[in-house]
């Protein structure tokens, strides 16, 4: 599964459908067969050889702030709602022989919105997601401590993992070089399980905004969403697409995200027995590592 920039504010996107379905939940990435990830033999960073990061074990805490506007059309009229959200995510990567073990946890999440959903505090019990990463930071196997049905009350950490995990290049690169990655995930928005397909394009930039000792990478994401509810009493279909652009400040040696700023645009249409309801969401997102020395 997994929202590079998910599409940004994937937690906020769920409020679109929640305004119709009035239900909130998260769904972890679709499990894949466990595969041992071989280690990369990428060379260390050098001023003459370029950039070749190595994924390393560690623990990180991220503060994520989203500021969105959502335009929607109901049966009789259209209106725009501002939404602000703040979340803290914990990530842990452990080295286990020929693989990296990931643990992700939503530590807290609050949403400030006038949409008719549940109260702003969305997480009562933190949910953990466990997975296996390749040396590039890509999932090879996943599992979660949660039910896989879209009927619970928890928020899945998978909804933002794609923004926090950076897919690393396969070889030594220099300023101006590009690489890409594609993934397909399943996420829950309200009672609707959505298949999300992400195409992420990266480019190593000449650093202008990041702190010394980091590298600057631009990430551009295109996203498509399709799915339908399994509730026979209240059937919903949803489909949409979006784009996102962000500037990432990464650790020079490991490629770990330290800070990012970006914008995204999403168009989603929810179809019910009453008709079609189009939504448009524009989001500005700031992410920063809040690790203490």
Q: What is the pLDDT of residues 243-287, one digit of tens each?
A: 999 999 999 999 999 999 999 999 999 888 888 889 999 999 999
Query: What is residue 138's predicted lDDT score, i.e. its pLDDT?
Result: 83
Q: What distance in Å separates the CA atoms of residue 25 and residue 6, rounded to the nearest whole number?
A: 17
- pLDDT at residue 169 greater than cutoff 50: yes
Specify whether domain 10-32+51-289 bears CATH 3.30.70. no
pLDDT recorded at residue 151:
54
Whether the pLDDT of residue 184 is over 50: the answer is yes
Percent of the chain scored above 70 by pLDDT? 67
- φ, ψ of residue 19 to 5 degrees: the values are -65, -20
- Report pLDDT for 108: 84
Q: What is the pLDDT of residue 97?
A: 78
For range 218-239, the mean pLDDT: 85
pLDDT, average across residues 164-192: 87
Q: Give the per-residue pLDDT at 149.
A: 55
Average pLDDT for 223-252: 88
Q: Is 254 left (phi over 0), alpha (psi -120 to 50) or beta?
A: alpha
- Name beta bridge partners: 83: 68
pLDDT at 166: 93
Cα 220 to Cα 222: distance, rounded to the nearest angstrom: 7
Name 28's Cβ contacts closer than 8 Å, sequence gap at least 6: 1, 129, 142, 143, 144, 146, 148, 156, 157, 158
The closest of 88, 91, 148, 158 to 123, measured between CA atoms, is: 88
Instruction: Please tell me the predicted confidence (pLDDT) of residue 140.
Output: 77
pLDDT beyond 60 at 18: no
pLDDT at 176: 94
Neighbours of 153 (CB within 10 A): 13
More confident residue, 67 or 9: 67
Most confidently modeled of 1-10, 159-168, 229-238, 251-260? 251-260
**Contact between 28 and 38 (Cβ < 8 Å):** no
Say what the pLDDT of residue 80 is.
Answer: 86
How confident is the prediction for the chain on average, in pLDDT? 76
Distance CA 118, CA 15 (A): 10
Largest alpha-carbon pair distance within the chain?
A: 63
Calculate what percentage of the chain has a pLDDT beyond 90: 38
Supply φ then ψ for residue 163, to 5 degrees.
Answer: -85, -30
Contact between residue 200 and residue 16 where contact means Cβ atoms under 8 Å apart: no
CA nearest to 25, candidates 118, 88, 89, 129:
118
Q: What is the pLDDT of residues 68-124, one digit of tens each?
A: 999 987 656 667 889 999 999 999 999 987 789 998 888 888 888 765 544 444 444
Q: Is 93 left (phi over 0), alpha (psi -120 to 50) or beta?
A: beta
pLDDT band for 158, please (50, 70, 90 cuts). Answer: low
Assess contact for 143 and 149: CB atoms under 8 A: no
Report the sign of the C-alpha dihedral through residues 151, 85, 246, 57, in that order.
Answer: negative
Residues whose CB falls within 8 Å of the CB of residue 37, separated by 6 or more in sequence, listed in order:
98, 99, 100, 132, 133, 134, 135, 140
- Which is higher by pLDDT, 284 or 26? 284
Element (H, E) at 227: strand 214-228
Q: Residue 163: is its pLDDT beyond 60?
A: yes
Domain boundaries, the chain: 10-32+51-289
Which residue would you say has higher pLDDT here, 151 or 74?
A: 74
Of 211, 169, 155, the residue nearest 25 (C-alpha):
155
**Mean pLDDT computed over 157-185:** 88
Mean pLDDT of 213-217: 93
Is 152 a residue whose pLDDT tops 80?
A: no
């Amino acid at each position: 599964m997994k929202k590079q920039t998910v599409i940004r504010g994937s937690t906020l996107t769920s409020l679109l459908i929640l305004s119709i379905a009035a239900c909130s939940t998260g769904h972890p990435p679709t499990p894949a067969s466990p595969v041992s990830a071989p280690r990369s033999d990428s060379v260390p960073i050098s001023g003459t050889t370029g950039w070749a990061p190595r994924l390393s074990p560690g623990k990180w805490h991220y503060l994520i702030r989203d500021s969105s506007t959502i335009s929607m059309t109901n049966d009789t009229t259209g209106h725009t709602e501002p939404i602000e959200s703040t979340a803290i995510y914990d990530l842990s990567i452990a080295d286990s022989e020929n693989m990296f073990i990931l643990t992700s946890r939503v530590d807290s999440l609050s949403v400030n919105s006038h949409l008719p959903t549940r109260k702003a505090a969305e997480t009562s019990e933190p949910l953990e997601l466990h997975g296996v990463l390749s040396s590039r930071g890509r999932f090879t196997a996943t599992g979660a401590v949660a039910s896989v049905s879209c009927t619970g009350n928890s928020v899945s950490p998978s909804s933002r993992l794609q923004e926090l995990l950076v897919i690393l290049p396969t070889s030594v690169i220099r300023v101006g070089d590009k690489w890409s990655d594609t993934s397909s995930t399943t996420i829950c928005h309200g009672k609707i399980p959505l298949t999300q397909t992400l195409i992420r394009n990266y480019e190593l930039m000449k650093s202008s905004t990041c702190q010394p000792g980091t590298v600057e990478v631009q990430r551009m994401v295109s996203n498509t969403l399709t799915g339908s509810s399994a509730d026979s009493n209240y059937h919903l279909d949803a489909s949409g697409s979006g784009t996102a652009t962000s500037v990432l400040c990464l650790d020079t040696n490991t490629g770990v995200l330290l800070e990012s700023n970006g914008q995204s645009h999403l168009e989603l249409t929810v179809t019910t027995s009453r008709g079609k309801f189009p939504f448009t969401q524009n989001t500005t997102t700031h992410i920063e590592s809040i690790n203490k020395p």
